Amino acid sequence: MEQIIFYILIFCIGTVFGSFFTLAVYRIPLHQDITHKRSYCPNCNHKLSFWDMIPILSYVFLGGKCRYCKKKIRIRYLCLEILTGIVFLLFAMSLNINFEIINISKLIYFVFGLLYIAGLIIIAGIDKEKCKIQKSLVLYEIVVLSLYMIYLYTVEYANIYRYVIYLFVVTILLVLENTYLKSKLKDYYVLQILQLSMLMAMFGYEFIFVFTVILTLLTIAIERIFNYIKEHKNKVIKKESKYFINLPIGFYLCCSNILTIIIVNWIACRG
């Protein structure tokens, strides 16, 4: 019974985070405050009350419309809240946390894992629309992974050389982005993808990252096939170059990495 209550609680916490993520995905690209400024309707700018911001329930009871201007609220907000709740729940279930035998190491990994996944979800949400990896989110992930690295070294006496190497590489890439390459390149999306890739390899080990890349490529290929069939059916053919320029690789990487981590944890904790 305790397990069921715990999983329900994790799902609810996930939806609350998902509600915050919708705000972050909207505001971060606009360089707006995401912690102190109250939520508001982007159409009428009316500040939202507590009853307007209850995850999932507010959207359902309001009929998917703003209480004040009656403007329809994008369905993606509801989807992100539900999906975040499901991701948090699956991540908890994948670790097979047992309240009868408390494993502190597993609980610490669970907390840092949720913080890491939270960053990936926001990165994915922004990249899906903007094809851009926000530097502030890369720095957030660096902080989370650095704290986890410190914990592993000071408490579990683990070998952290691989963490240090990846952290060093990400730092070099950030310096290059801010100095030399920023003045030479108009679009440094590839460099941002490399930064994100290093962080993924740092948290989930190399073999998880390899599977992440494979799943990403498969997903993109399958989506491209379906798009081609749809375009051919509608007799609307897009240029290949334009498609790949607007391809949100970071979005696919983040989704694939989250799914891969959950699957690997599920197998490892039950193997």
Reply yes or no on whether the pLDDT at 30 is more than 60: yes
Where residue 170 falls among pLDDT bands split at 50, 70, 90? very high
Higher-confidence position of 73 and 255 = 255
Distance CA 157, CA 164 (A): 14
- What is the structure's pLDDT at 17? 93
Q: What number is the average pLDDT over the span 235-264?
A: 78
pLDDT-derived band at 101 (thresholds 50, 70, 90) equals: confident
The answer to whether residue 239 scores a pLDDT higher than 70 is no
Model confidence over 76-98: pLDDT tens digits? 888 999 999 999 999 999 998 87
Closest CA to 130 of 30, 228, 17, 256: 30
Q: Which are the contacts of 3, defined by CB distance < 8 A and separation ≥ 6?
A: 98, 99
Query: Is 119 exposed, middle or buried (CB count within 10 Å of its CB: 0-12, 13-18, 19+)?
Result: buried
How much is the pLDDT for 122?
95
The residue with greater pLDDT, 202 or 227, is: 202
Average pLDDT over residues 41-45: 77
Report how far residue 202's alpha carbon sits from residue 194's, in angstroms, rounded to the nearest whole number. Answer: 12
| Mean local confidence (pLDDT), 238-244 | 50
In percent, the amount of the chain with pLDDT more than 90 equals: 43
Helix (H) or strand (E) holding 113: helix 104-130
| pLDDT higher than 70, residue 235 | no
Single out the residue of 253, 254, 268 nearest to residue 117, CA to CA.
Answer: 254
255 vs 101 pLDDT, higher one: 255
Domain residue spans of the chain: 1-94
pLDDT tens string 111-134 = 999 999 999 999 999 999 888 899
Torsion region of 160: left, alpha or beta (phi above 0 gives left; psi -120 to 50 gives alpha): alpha
Q: Higher confidence at residue 228 or residue 256? A: 256
Q: Is the pTM of this model over 0.85?
A: yes
**Residue 10 confidence class, pLDDT cut points 50, 70, 90:** very high
Q: Which of 2-16, 18-32, 36-50, 60-74 has the lowest mean pLDDT?
A: 36-50
b (16+ CB within 10 A) / e for 26-47: bbbeeeeebeeeebebeeeeee
Report helix, strand or coil for 129: helix
More confident residue, 12 or 188: 12
Beta carbons within 10 angstroms of residue 126's beta carbon: 23
Indicate the burial class of 198 (C-beta count within 10 angstroms; 0-12, 13-18, 19 or more).
buried
Mean pLDDT of the chain: 85
- Give residue 236's pLDDT: 56
Q: What is the pLDDT of residue 230?
A: 76
Model confidence pLDDT, tens digit, residues 179-196: 766 566 555 788 889 999
Burial class of 12 by CB neighbour count within 10 A (0 to 12, 13 to 18, 19+):
middle
Average pLDDT on 161-184 reads: 82
Question: Comparing C-alpha atoms, which of 200, 202, 108 is closest to residue 163?
Answer: 202
Q: What is the pLDDT at residue 237?
A: 52
